[in-house]
Every structure is written in structure tokens, then in C-alpha cells.
Amino acid sequence: MTSDNAEAYDIIHYVIDNATMGFFVAVAPSPMQNRIANLYTSRRTAVYNYSELKQKFSYSDLSLWADSQADRDILFILNMENALSNDESLASFNMSRDLLAKKNKVWIFLMTKETEYRLSTFAHDIYSCVKLKAYFTEEQLEDFESAETHERLKQYREIEERYMALPLEDTPHNQLLSAAITLSTIAELYDKCADKHNAARVRKKVNDIKFTVQVMSITL
């Protein structure tokens, strides 16, 4: 993760972990917005991308889509600069504040710096309800891939701790095999982060599991 954007990534992570509803803004260059949303993809998230839809903001369209995401509570709305490119769409978005809030969703609106400025200047109603803002600067692709790897390691942390603590002699054969596969993936992520110590630590557990499984197979 680049140092310039570390705080912005932490803000989005904090919102996803702690927010239950409300409006949030992420300011990022258009090419980055889809990458940012993909970084936080989970069963709780859904993405509405105005660069693909080629349409201006419409409350009815966005509302119908949000209602179709009944099992998703975190909604990433990408490329708002396309949706709010004229005064009429900006005014419509501004007036939609209360209706969108009633959806009880976490709304994360991603937009360019220029659009965020227009929103803060000419859409006071909705902008005053923005709880947190994250500001991203342009990243090279390799920097983003590093940020994505660190984020995946965060998501694996609890699984890693559980599998590393598995008692080898008392765990069923199939569970050990599953743990070995997952831990191998985690070791590869540590390699990508140049964390040789943790990569070696996890691989030792994988090797211990493989040896135990081989012994189990012989004794069956």
C-alpha cells in the first residue's frame, strides 16, 4: 500500500467494518475507482458503475437497484463524475438525500476531485450528511497490487491464526488438507509482501500438515 494512500484505504476499511448506514465519499481518479471497489468486494458489497451505465443520476434508477440488493448493505457507487456532469443531475442528487438515507445502506460514493468540489459547493443538503471522506492520489498498478495483497492478508488473519493452531494429531484428514491449501495461499501472499519470516513460518506448518497426512494415510 502506498504511503500517500494508506490513510484513505484505512478510512474505507474503517467504514466497512463499523458503519451501519450513511453517506461516505471517496475521491479518486476515475481509473482507480473500480480497483478500489474491487479491493473490498465481499458478500456485503455491491457496485453501481456510472461509467458503464452511461446515464445521468436518477433517483428512481438508483433506488430500484439498491432495493434489488436486499442482502447487500454496503453500496459502492462509482464514477459519480459521469452521473453529475450537469446542473440538473447535481440538483436531483442533492434533493435525494432523505430518500436515499431511508434505504438504511452504507453509501460509498466515488468521484473525481473536481466533482467532489462541485458537490461540496452546490449540493449542500447531501454533502452536509457525508460522515467521512477519503482522498486518494493516482497509483501505479504495481502499487495497487501491493495494497490489494496487504488487504487480502488482513482478511485471512483470523483463518491463518485458526489453522496455525490446528492440533495435527486430533484433526480429521480432510480438514488438514483444506488447511494446508489455504495456508499455502497465505504463504504466497507473504512472499508478495517480501515478508520472508512469516512466509517461512506458515510454510513450516504446511509441511507439518503434509507429513501428518502422509502418516495417517500409511496407518489407515
β-strands 106-111, 74-78 pairing: parallel
Rounded Cα gap, residues 136 and 150, in angstroms:
17
pLDDT of residue 143: 66
Note the pLDDT of residue 33: 93
**Helices (H), ranges, 2-56:** 6-18, 30-39, 50-53
Q: How far apart are CA 82 and CA 58, in angstroms?
A: 12
The Cα–Cα gap between 26 and 52 comes to 19
**Residue 205 burial (CB count, 10 A):** 21
Residue with cell 438508483: 62
Over residues 111-162, the pLDDT tens digits come to 999 999 999 999 999 999 999 999 998 876 566 667 778 888 888 889 999 9
Q: pLDDT band at residue 56, thresholds of 50, 70 and 90?
A: very high
DSSP secondary structure of 75-94: EEEE-HHHHTSSHHHHHHHH
Report d(CA 76, CA 47) in Å as an integer.
5
Comparison of pLDDT for 46 and 188, the residue scoring more: 46
